[in-house]
Amino acid sequence: MDVTPSPFVQRRRLRTELRRARAEARLTQDQVATAMDWSLSKVIRIETGAVGISTNDLKALLRLYAVHDANRMDELIELARTSRQTSWLSKYRAEISSQYMQYIEYEEAASVLRMYEPLLLPGLLQTEEYTAAILRALSDPGTTEELVRNRTDIRLTRQRLLEQTTPPTLICVIDESVISRILGERTIAQPQLARLIDLASRPTISIEIVPFTAGLHPGLLEPFIILEFPDPEDSDVLYLESSKDSIFSHDEAREITSYREIFEQLRSISLGPAGTLEYLRMARVR
């Protein structure tokens, strides 16, 4: 499957550059709105990446910001064009929830992903066989094999994020029960353990298992993901998912901080990256 950067990612890059250009021009959002004869909400929506911007509007905005460097202008115009392109996810729009689609767009834009899973492997770590088995087990009765294949394709395509020249930093903490369930599925255990060992050996990926001997801990029931972004002006995003719903938390700094603290607690009682790698290697030869 041919994958191009998500328009969401391109909009995030463009909005960063536009905010920087406005700051260099020493203009407020109100002043920009007045000069461009736009509503203030349009300026805000462009700068937050909520909407794209046409090439003509962008050229006018760059003239206002006194951006005359030809290379910079070409780069920003190309970002504006690509930000309005159709995402690879669009073909699956009818088959996945809007929350899941939004999560994938955030995932593609993130520079650091912190994941905790008490029951199942995070999607980025799964083999094709494990993914298909999970989807069949958890899907509603009557789910077609075609839908399972399409959802499996989505998950495998997401994993190309880890194969980029500069992949994001991925820190995954999982409960030991996740591995026990893998070992209980003889047909998928060996390839899945091999993938985990390969990923855990990469410098940008850390996999850490919380062993049963850790006892009761604050992460027993709730999986969660914290996403960080390369632009320091972008706040972290917390993603919570249950069997019934998915929730994003963008602006609740206290809540996100609370989950960051829980994540670090879980890491502190885990086997650590080296201990986890040894555990996985031993599990593979059982």
Select the highest-mean-pLDDT range: 6-10, 46-50, 234-238, 259-263: 259-263
Is the pLDDT score of 233 beyond 80? no
Same domain, 56 and 103: no
Total Cβ atoms within 10 A of residue 35: 12
Residue 37 lies in a domain: yes
Q: In this structure, are residues 120 and 180 in contact, taking their beta carbons and an 8 Å threshold?
A: no
pLDDT at 76: 93
Show the CA angle centred on residue 106, arms to residues 102 and 108, nearest 5°.
Answer: 115
pLDDT digits over 5-40, tens only?
567 777 878 888 999 999 999 999 999 999 999 999
pLDDT digits over 178-187, tens only?
999 999 888 8
pLDDT digits over 40-72, tens only?
999 998 988 777 899 999 999 999 999 999 999
Same domain, 243 and 198: yes
Is the pLDDT score of 248 beyond 80? no
Residue 2 lies in a domain: no
Residue 1 lies in a domain: no
pLDDT at 4: 52
Select the highest-mean-pLDDT range: 81-95, 125-139, 238-252: 125-139
pLDDT at 1: 41
**Mean pLDDT on 137-152:** 88
Mean pLDDT of the chain: 90
Residue 64 lies in a domain: yes
Same domain, 140 and 278: yes
Q: In total, how many domains does the chain have?
A: 2
Domain that holds residue 53: 7-83
pLDDT at 286: 72
Q: In this structure, are residues 83 and 14 in contact, taking their beta carbons and an 8 Å threshold?
A: yes
Using DSSP's 3-state secondary structure scheme, residue 67 falls into coil
Same domain, 31 and 79: yes
Which residue bears the tokens 């504006």? 80
Same domain, 31 and 167: no
Q: What is the CATH number of the domain that holds 60?
A: 1.10.260.40
Residue 33 lies in a domain: yes
Residue 17 lies in a domain: yes
Domain boundary among 33, 63, 83: 83
State how far the alpha carbon of 90 is from the alpha carbons of 93, 98, 101, 154, in Å.
5, 11, 9, 11
pLDDT at 243: 60
Residue 23 lies in a domain: yes
* Percent of the chain residues past pLDDT 90, beyond the cut: 63
Q: What is the CATH number of the domain that holds 277?
A: 3.30.870
